[in-house]
Structures are given as structure tokens and as C-alpha cells.
Amino acid sequence: MRMRLRRLLTWRKALIAFVTLCLLVLAAFTVLYLVIDIPRPNEQVKAQSNVYLFADGSRLARTGEVNRESVPLDRVPGDVRRAFVAAENKDFYSDSGVSLSGTARGVFSTLTGGGKQGGSTITQQYVKNYYLSQEQTVTRKVKELFISLKVDRHNSKDDILAGYLNSSYYGRLAYGVQAAARTYYGKEVEDLGVEEGAYLAALLQAPSQYDWAVASPADKKKAKARWGYVLDNMVGEGWLDKDERRRMRFPVPVAPKASAELAGDAGYLVDTARRELIAAGVGEQELAGGGWRITLNIDPDRQRALREAVTAGLTSPGDAAEPEPKAPRRDPDRQAGAVSVDPESGRIVALYGGDDYFKHYLNNATRADYQAGPTFAPVVLAAGIEAKKNGRSRVGRDMIRQTAKKLGMTADPAGFAAPQATSLGLMGASPLEMAGVHATLANDGKKVTPSIVKSARRGDRTVELPEATGEQAVGSASARFAHASASGIPRPVGGTWPGMSVPPLTDAAQVGGSTGASGHTDDRKAEWFIGSAPEEVTSIALFGESAKTGKQVALTGIEDDPTEYIWSVYLKARAAEPAEREGS
């Protein structure tokens, strides 16, 4: 009897506690609903320029001519409106304006440092864009929830949708669906077709990533998939005929308008910096809002030296034995990318993404659609040594892939699926990734994540950037041996590893006390060179890309070692820097 009574009292206490908690939550919800009013529209419309500086404080570029224009909803075709609803919030016309589960995920993600989370309704996104800010804080998310409830009560769904379409950021500094229509398709919004509307709707998820002009091949696939997702949702909701959907083809946008500030290599530097800041948590719309002063780690002298070296390598046969260029000639089916990193600090001191940002928007320094080829061999070697240290007789493909991830590669499983993927380096990699991998090996195995941004400030806010150097990725012995193989050194200083030879990566070159090795990929569509000099590791790649179609093609004339030639020219320019500075 006593046991039953105790159990009854325990359940009663639990029930009282639960009811009390519910009442407290309800009371808090009611108080917050009454206290938080719909504010005045934010002042983000007063956009300013962003200023990008070199490491020495000299100006690289100024960006920020924001394109804004609002239009009434009746100018937006019905199919285009429904495309946005299908993309972001299929229940928009029947919901209460908020998603409690999405808000809860966002708050939890913010508290745990997990970054941005989706799940917000169209109403919540409109409130964030029009009334609040893009900052990722719990306070902002709570305000967004209560303001959205009030906005949904006081405004019609059409008014909310119009506000959402006109306040959203579409990339290319375009705010609003009318500005986006002109920017991406050169049309007035009323002239957009459903295919074009679906692409603009898809853009809102990741404007920079899905911008067709600058997207990598992998990101283009994601953009197309998102575009298809929007149209398929429209079919599912009965807003689009299935047969009509099947006949639709992706509407490629027009190229961005050229800007003198981003011409030449400046656009590639700004593009790389923007992507790094977005990865660090700065919202795309927040960055586009302007007012930022962004200083890069790029050394202007080394940047100029790398640019001139690549230009020389692309316009001459590149015979390293005779470094004087022959009669200039340029193979139009060659693209080059290069990244130079200080392995001790992780600073990117020079980056070459292409000749001219407005002639070739795809950044050759960050593209990862060509095979890594021989530059991957040191990763295999490092994994093998790590396996021996752990008492394993052989190293498997999974361990090699995990080692690649630790060293900084994306290491997509699909790239490691082929039988000879690891032995031939068949997986895709970018010059930036491989610069990080080899900088890590040169840094005794301590992780190096190359960083181009030195600082980013707006008003009294300073962005907290992740450390460019981190914990031990692989053992120091493994790193030394692997780095030695990439540098063409027969055996690293500091000992040997029982049963392990350390062959050079490929034919090695030694220039002025520095080392490096070059080699082409199995499909001969890319040639790589990893150069190592005091305080610097440089990844140089030459890509075969058809000037007419943009498709990958085999390189010709690479027996002249053009990447090695680029390295030698770059080193000579670097060696001349101190003398030039003393004389100036």
C-alpha cells in the first residue's frame, strides 16, 4: 500500500512539474508576443562599398554598387511566384508564418556553433531581410519568430510574398526579383518564363555557389539539381504539367557585367576572399550590404611575380634549362591555376586564378574538376607510413582517403571508387587544396588550412576567422618523408624509416636551393608542379580546357615542363625582391 502511495505521489509531482513548466513557457511566450513589436524596416538598404586591401595596406579593389528595385506583385508572373513558393515554403498560403521546428533547429545550431540552418518560412525570411539583420544570434532568431507571427496576422499572404521577393538577395549585388531578372537574364520581371523563375528561386539557397558564371562544375550540378527540385515541387503541387516539365531545359544566365575594379586577377582574389568569409559565418546578404574593410594576406610583390611567371609559362615552351622565353605563343586550350602558401602561418601570399576574371569566371585556383595526379602520391606515402606505425602491414583505400581528409582534401568517396584511384591520383583536387596538403606536410604534419583573409571589419564588428594552422594531421615522420618525396629529395634529413624507400614524386628540379617536382595526370588533361622553397609552398597546375566549348581536353606540349618553368621564373622574381626593395 505504501509503495502504491509513493508511486502515486511521484507521478503527481511529475505531473505538477510538467504542467507548471507548460504554464511558464506559455506565459513567457505571451509576454514576448506582447513586448516584441514589428519594428521599422532595417537600414540595410543604405548599402556601402566593400574595400579590399593587400597585406601591406594598398588597395586591391572596391566593390558594392548595389542593384535594388521593388515591383508590385502583379508584375511577377504567377508561375514565377509559385516557383519561389515551391522552392522555399510549399505550405506558405496555409501556414501561420512560422516553423517552430525550423526555428528550434536554428537556435540550437547557433548555440552549438553549427552555422546556418534552413527550415524558415517565407514569412520568417522576409522578416529577417526587411526588419532585422543577417546576424546569427539567438536574440535575432527569437525576435524573428514573434515578429513573423504578427506580420502573418496583420499582412496578407500576397503582401508578404511581394516583400519577400523584393527584399531577397540573389547574388551579383542584386536585391529583389526585378533586379535579379535584369542581372541574370537581361529581362523585365514580367517577361520571365517559369524555367528562369525556377533558377532565380534556386539561387536564394546559395547565391554565390549557384551563380552559373562562377560556379565550379560540382556546384553547377548542385544548381541544376536545385532548379529541378523547384520544378518537381511545382509538379507535385499541381502547379505545373508533368509533360511540360519534362520538356524544359536549364536556362543558362547571361554573364555578369564587367567591373574595372575586378578586372584581371583582382576578381579571383575577391572571389576567394568572399567564399572564405561566407564559410566563416558572414552571410552573403550581410557581405553584400557593404561597409566592410577586408585586408588580405596577399603580398602584392609576390602576387605580381606569380602572375608574370604564369603568363611567361603560358606564352613560351617553358624549357627550364633555357629560361629565356622563345617567341611568344599562347595555346588557347590551356588554363592555369596556382596558390602559394606560407606553411608556418597558413597565409596565402599569392594566388593566380586566371588571366581575367571577366573572360574566365571560373577560378582556376579553387576549381577541383581535374585529377590530382602525381601530387597525390605523397598522401599515399604518408598513409602508408602511418599504417606501419600502427602495426599494419598494408594501407587500404579507406585509410588513404581518411589521411587525405586530415591533410585538407575534400576527399569525396566517389573520387576514390575506381580501382587505381589512389595509385594514379584519379580524384579531383584544386590547386588551393593541394597547396594546403603540401603545406601541411612541409609543416611537420601540423594541419594548414590556407587562408587569404587577414582581417575583416565593419564598424565595430570584427569577423572571428578560424586558425589557419591547427593540430597534428599526420605524424611528423610521415610528413617529413612525404614532403621529401614531393620535393624530389632522396631522403629527408633526420633519419630513415625501416622498410620504406622515399622515391622522388617524379622528375625533380632544384632551383636556387629550392626544390619541386612535376608530373601530368593519367588522362594527360592536367600537369602539376609542387614547389617548395624556404617559407613557401606553391601548387601550380595547368589544365586542358577547350576555349570553344569549355570542356576538358588533353594537353599538348607538356614535355617542355611548363609548370616547372613557371616555378623557376617565380623563384627568380622572389629572389630579386629584397634587392628591389633596398634600391627603392
Q: What is the pLDDT of residues 362-374, one digit of tens each?
A: 999 999 999 999 8
pLDDT at 70 over 90: no
What three-state secondary structure class fits 449?
A: coil
pLDDT(259) > 60: yes
Q: From CA 69, how far away is CA 71, in angstroms rounded?
A: 7
Distance CA 524, CA 554 (A): 5
Instruction: Give the cell for residue 444.
Output: 611537420
**392-448: pLDDT as tens digits:** 878 888 999 999 999 999 888 888 888 888 888 899 999 999 999 999 999 999 999
Helix/strand/coil for 448? strand
- Cell numbers linked to 63: 566593390
Q: DSSP strand E in 461-534: where?
A: 461-462, 469-472, 508-511, 514-520, 526-533
Q: Are 32 and 146 in contact (CB under 8 A)?
A: yes
Q: Poorest-confidence range of 166-175, 254-263, 269-278, 310-319?
A: 310-319
d(C-alpha 198, C-alpha 390), whole Å: 52
Amino acid, res. 526: A
**CA geometry: angle 475, 478, 480, nearest 5 deg:** 105
Residue 461: its pLDDT value, please? 85
Residue 35 has pLDDT above 50, yes or no: no
Indicate whether 231 pLDDT > 70: yes
**Structure-block grid coordinates of residue 496:** 630513415
DSSP labels, 171-240 = STTEESHHHHHHHHHSS-GGG--HHHHHHHHHHTT-HHHH-TTT--HHHHHHHHHHHHHHHHHHHHTTSS
3-state SS, 498-511, equals CCCCCCCCCCEEEE
DSSP helix, strand, coil percent of the chain (3-state; round to 5): 45, 15, 40
- Average pLDDT, whole number, for the chain? 81
Q: Phi and psi (nearest 5°) for 41? A: -55, 145
**What percentage of the chain exceeds 70 in pLDDT?**
76
For residue 130, is pLDDT > 80?
A: no
Assign 315 a pLDDT band (cuts: 50, 70, 90).
confident
173 has a pLDDT exceeding 50: yes
Which of 2-11, 104-113, 253-262, 292-301 is the most confident on average?
292-301
DSSP assignment string, 398-446: HHHHHHHHHHT----GGGG-STTHHHHT-SB--HHHHHHHHHHHHTTTE
Q: Which of 21-25, 61-65, 288-292, 305-309 has the highest mean pLDDT?
A: 305-309
Read off the C-alpha cell for 40. 521599422
Average pLDDT over residues 485-507: 49
467 DSSP assignment: P
For residues 206 and 216, give the distance between their C-alpha atoms in angstroms, rounded to a whole number.
13
